[in-house]
Structure 1
Amino acid sequence: MAGSFKTEGVVLRSIRFGEADRVLHLYTEQRGRVGAVAKGVRRVRSRFGGRLEPLFRVALVLHEGRGDLCTVTSAETVHAHPALRERRASLGRATQACEAVLRVFDSAEPNRPAYNLLCRQLALLDARPEAATRAQGLAFRMKLLLAAGFVPELAACSACGDREHLGAFSAAAGGVVCPGCEAGAFALDQEAHGFMVSALGQPLAEAPLASEPALRQTDRAIAETLEYHAHVRLPRLG
């Protein structure tokens, strides 16, 4: 139905369109994923200024017409995250977070936990340069799995329910598995298992530490879970 609506959102991606416009991929608080056109935004005297660049959190008024894309009629900055743009590592992690949300949440259905998680991640990376680590990026992705409904079983064998000797991971089975159910699984050591549990349980700003081998195993577990259950491929975190 045609009409205007207000929502807060994060600009995930911006693509040039025509001579002066941009197509925006937004993740919004009230509508989930939204595509929108910002008309004239690339002109020097655009009324939007620089408020519709990727990573901006903005309060929007969008007009919904008959087509697939809304039209941005108003945009006010909620948080520009200026500091993270000046640090290569922070900018990289923020871009990875937005790309993950873009790929995992592709429908116009609101998901407040996912939206709030993304906002917290961008604010954290803006405020704390030391947060731009691989471990913190993986902790964000673990929480993203939870928000999306794809969090793996970590407390017991996802195939038989056994709570002992959980030393492997199977995306097909839905999480960690015991030796009797590990066909097709890959080895997951105790440190990686513990990291995944802690990443889900601790605040985003208190991401646990782990060795590189444990982080690689966690990265693989997340990637295979999303590929198997959501049919989404995310680049591994370096």
Structure 2
Amino acid sequence: MTSRRLSTEAVVLRSMRYGEADRILHAITPEHGRVGAIAKGARRPRSKLGGRLEPLAVVQLELQRGRSDLMTVVGADTVAVHHRILTSHAALESAQRACHVVDRTCVPDEPAARVHGLLRSLLALLDGRPDAAHEGLQLAFRLKLLYALGLQPALGSCVRCGRHDALVAFDDAQGGAVCAACRSGAVSIDPGSLAFMIEALGAPLQDAPSAPPAVARQVHRAINGLAAEHLGVDLRGEPS
């Protein structure tokens, strides 16, 4: 029988005002995947929860399961804060976009230790080096996120015939590059974009390659196509 009370580390993905004094949050946890919870009275001046549940915060949550999908926050202790991210528009935007895609792609009650660790690594990088925020880093994060969720695009050979050269398109349904002879129905992709994806997947986040605009557009399209085809989610919208 599932315990009705749980304690877990969590990264707060988003937090919304609810009612007169409550707050609803989504967070990613290692053991329980994405969780939704209500923090009752969190917006009252004397609440002990208060600013601990803001987006990007890493907290140790004490949660109580109820009858609805939303758990109840009964306690929260700060594990890590990322004050320097807030001083840089680029770093803050990058962190918010990363939280958005994690919120969209992860589901409740499925362990997500790799995703949780990946997001923590990105936030620590941006907090330590706010100037590290660039589009290549965001794309590298998303590629690694898909990999953590079990989606590793085939980039070194044609997913239809196995050919290793003349890779000219990307097949979302098959999950990888295709050659000129097999390209029917696939979307064109340049060698530079495939090379970026290979390098980004193989390098640590702090060494993410830069992505020129044309490469970024093609890689975003491939990532969005994979997410839509295999996860059933639309990543095209960005957080406001």
- Counterparts of 1:45-56 in structure 2 under 5 Å? 45-56=46-57
Amino acid at match of 1:28: T
- Give runs of ≥4 in structure 1 deviating > 3 Å: none
Which deviations, in whole Å up to 9, do the C-alpha atoms of 1:96-120 show, x marking residues without a partner? 0000000111232112111100111
Consecutive unaligned residues in structure 2, runs of 5 or more: none
Fraction of identical pairs, as percent: 47
Q: 1:62, 1:72 within 8 Å by CA — same for their partners in 2?
A: yes
| Aligned counterparts of 2:156 and 2:60: Cα–Cα separation in 1 | 40
User: 1:224 maps to what in 2?
Assistant: 225
| Aligned counterparts of 2:95 and 2:143: Cα–Cα separation in 1 | 15
Q: CA deviation at 1:65?
A: 2.3
User: 2:128 maps to what in 1?
Assistant: 127
Which deviations, in whole Å up to 9, do the C-alpha atoms of 1:168-223 show, x marking residues without a partner? 11112211000111012222111111100011000011101232211211111111
Q: CA deviation at 1:48?
A: 1.2
Consecutive unaligned residues in structure 1, runs of 5 or more: none
Q: Do residues 163 (structure 1) and 136 (structure 2) align?
A: no
TM-score in terms of structure 1 length? 0.95
Task: Give the paired residue count.
Answer: 237
Which deviations, in whole Å up to 9, do the C-alpha atoms of 1:30-56 show, x marking residues without a partner? 211111111111011111131000110
Q: 1:3 to 1:172 in 2, by over 3 A?
A: closer
Q: 1:2, 1:65 within 8 Å by CA — same for their partners in 2?
A: no
RMSD of equivalent CA atoms: 1.4
Q: CA deviation at 1:91?
A: 0.8
User: 2:203 maps to what in 1?
Assistant: 202
SS of corresponding position for 1:51 = helix
| Aligned counterparts of 1:207 and 1:236: Cα–Cα separation in 2 | 23
TM-score in terms of structure 2 length? 0.95
| Aligned counterparts of 1:80 and 1:66: Cα–Cα separation in 2 | 32
Q: 2:28, 2:112 within 8 Å by CA — same for their partners in 1?
A: no
SS of corresponding position for 1:93 = helix
SS of corresponding position for 1:120 = helix
Q: 1:73 to 1:236 in 2, by over 3 A?
A: closer
